[in-house]
Amino acid sequence: MTSEKRTALVVGGSGLVGKEVISELIASEKYTEVVTLTRKPLDFTHPKLLSIIFNFDHPDASVVCGDDIFCCLGTTMKKAGSKEAFYRVDYTYPIEIAQLGHQNGAKRFAIVTAMGADSGSMFYYNRVKGDVEATLKKIGFDALLIFRPSLLVGNRGETRLGEQIGEGLSKILRPLIPIKYRSIEARKVAKAMVTITASNVKGTLVYESDVMQEF
């Protein structure tokens, strides 16, 4: 009996978590091909990796294909420049990718949102994250896997002063902070995403930061 071989589709592969997800997928025996959709070329290659330059504002539905979709899209209000631009990256793009992928036969959808994601939140960031989770639940994947990390740490390749300060304070206060609220390495989030998605779980499942810390 031959083991199932899958194709993974990664969106947001140039970001902190996305790069780690690609590395985990390449190393996994479960996946024979890893396809990425990015605005710009990635800075690395691999025989298993197919990188496609993709216009998220005018998506080509024909390339949004894969057994498992890993969505690592996300920005900050400062980087986006406006609420509208932030909403487009953190809500519109993920939902469009999910809908197209589901239409093209994707079975599983894994997404990074954020701790505190809640459609009823008074904070815009958390509210948008909650909205995207709520809409994804209506699409009908065999498995919808939602990962809510706390403060992410790792090499971003860019400077985010607020996050640098938060990361520094987190390291100092780490022993006093409950596990769920401690900063978490992007590689742990990625490993959790790939390991759990590849394990044939079904239904809508939410993983908080303390669970991801175990990977």
Do β-strands 49-53 and 31-38 pair in parallel, antiparallel, or remain unpaired? parallel
Q: Give CA 122 to chain center in angstroms.
A: 23
Contacts of 78 (CB under 8 A, 6+ apart): none
Catalytic residues: 125, 129
CB 26, CB 49: distance < 8 Å: yes
Dist. CA 54–CA 58, nearest whole Å: 8
Backbone torsions φ then ψ of 22, nearest 5 degrees? -60, -45
Contacts of 197 (CB under 8 A, 6+ apart): 68, 70, 108, 110, 143, 145
Q: Which amino acid is at 106?
A: A
| Sheet of strand 31-38: strand arrangement | 49-53, 31-38, 6-11, 68-71, 108-112, 143-148, 203-208
Dist. CA 212–CA 215, nearest whole Å: 6
Dist. CA 112–CA 189, nearest whole Å: 8
